[in-house]
Amino acid sequence: MASPKCIYWFRNDLRISDNPALSAAAEIGEVLPVFILSDSENDLGSASKWWLHHSLHDLNERLGDRLNLLRGDATKIICDLAKEQEVDAVFWNRCYEPTSLAQERSIARNLEQFGIGANSFNGSALWEPWEVLKGDGSPYKVFTPFFRRGCLSRPLPDEPVGEMASIKLSDLVESTTSLEDINLLPSVDWDSGLQERWDVSEAGAHQNLNEFLENKLSGYSEGRDFPSRHMSSNLSPYISWGLISVHRIYQRLKQRMGQFEDGSYDDTFLSQLGWRGFAQSLLYHFPDLPEKNMQRKFDSFPWIENESNFDAWKMGQTGFPFVDAAMRELWQTGFMHNRLRMVAGSFLVKNLLIDWRGGRDWFWDCLVDADLANNSMGWQWVSGCGVDAAPYFRVFNPVTQGRKFDPDGAYTYRYLPELQKLPVKYLFSPWDAPAAVLEEAEVVLGTDYPEPIVDIAESRKRALEAYSMVRSQGK
């Protein structure tokens, strides 16, 4: 009698350890591992494609070169392959994006018609979106009650499943598609900074977690707003593509916090994981989140189409050094410090009055940790049109933000080498520097470094007028 066999469908869970669906599949019998670049994933941003390429390379090595790479309609491919190979079941970890949910339901229905088991697991959420609801059964729309009342009052998240004792991989199917055939790497060499910045592997994910817990967590709450202190966990792209389990991160985090009874470790970083869960929840309950203003009164907001200003923002040429440093970090490394995401985002949508969806698309293309839920919610938050939005009158001043959070200029100097000789006193407002200071620093505004593309005070006033108009219409 032939031993049972199953298909394991890798998605945004590109890891071996702490993978609940893969562990369950391994207990069935032979496992045929597949990854499908579906039609929707062809819309991935350039940085995400780069990250995916290297993630798949690492995963394939860990599977002994047995990963089957396919591309096309995942629903058709999974169902056809399951029937062709006469498997007993198909396993996967759940995704929470609208198209993914619809796809999962379609696959499960089709498989069940042929008597093939469809088994899905939670591999990427501490608390699943349908679990965290208000008393009346409706979803939370404000983060603090979502996290404090909705999440922390619930039973603890699932324990990580750990390493599998063994897995028997099937060799019945020989993949006809190579990683190179999927064509994820850029044709133009712009990714050298990403290669220098990231170790895209499951081992790299755990190394970053260890480094964070051992050397950064104790100072995270106070130091996370200062980009030159390098207090970021650097875990977000690994979480986005599932090279590490959020259940493992949660377990290790709580263990580390529990080692110090003096309360020196607060739950600031845990709340960041909660913020990710909040984004998952909003996207699950409000599938229009990526495209439509959650506060519909903003549908009439007077955005300004200005391609010149938009291009200057994208390329880090606005004339505001703290914003420009952030945008250049993004371009060079595929990442941006969280404080800078707020500052750069605020500058685009409030000082330039450019539609948040333009910023959403640029971040989607450039971020290695691009995540549909986080990216959409983050841009709606900073724009003031989301369900849990920053107050409309909060306009981050890039000059005062730079002076406060990069007081010695270490971060800004790093990404703006043309201003290396400019004294830090004038670093965040070079237009204020006397001519003699600019001359000594070898900076000619408009030539070596751009002059400001807007007046910061006037643009703030214009933004407040626009937001006040929308606010009055909503009454």
Could you give the 3-state DSSP secondary structure of residue 91?
strand
pTM value is 0.95
Mean pLDDT calculated for residue range 397-410: 98
Q: Where in the chain is the domain with CATH 3.40.50.620?
A: 5-123
Q: Could you count the other beta carbons within 10 Å of the beta carbon of residue 203? A: 11
Q: Where in the chain is the domain with CATH 1.25.40.80?
A: 125-159+200-285
**pLDDT by residue (tens digit) across 33-83?**
999 998 665 589 999 999 999 999 999 999 999 999 998 999 999 999 999
As separate numbers, helices (DSSP H) first and strands (DSSP E) second, the chain gives 22, 6
Q: Could you count the other beta carbons within 10 Å of the beta carbon of residue 75? A: 18
Q: Which residue has the tokens 């969806």?
A: 357
On the 0-12 / 13-18 / 19+ scale of CB atoms within 10 A, 291 is exposed
Q: Where in the chain is the domain with CATH 1.10.579.10?
A: 296-473
* Homologous superfamily (CATH) for 296-473: DNA Cyclobutane Dipyrimidine Photolyase, subunit A, domain 3 (1.10.579.10)
**pLDDT by residue (tens digit) across 85-143?**
999 999 999 999 999 999 999 999 999 999 999 999 999 999 999 999 999 999 999 99
Q: Are 28 and 88 in contact (CB under 8 A)?
A: yes
* Homologous superfamily (CATH) for 5-123: HUPs (3.40.50.620)
Q: Is the pLDDT of residue 265 over 70?
A: no
Q: Which residue has the tokens 């339901």?
A: 105
Q: Could you count the other beta carbons within 10 Å of the beta carbon of residue 348? A: 26
Q: Is the pLDDT of residue 460 over 60?
A: yes
Q: Any idea which fold 125-159+200-285 has?
A: 1.25.40
Could you give the 3-state DSSP secondary structure of residue 117?
strand
Supply φ then ψ for residue 139, to 5 degrees.
Answer: -75, 150
Q: What token pair was written down for 114? A: 């042929």
Q: What is the DSSP letter of 18?
A: T
d(CA 376, CA 255): 32
d(CA 441, CA 443): 5
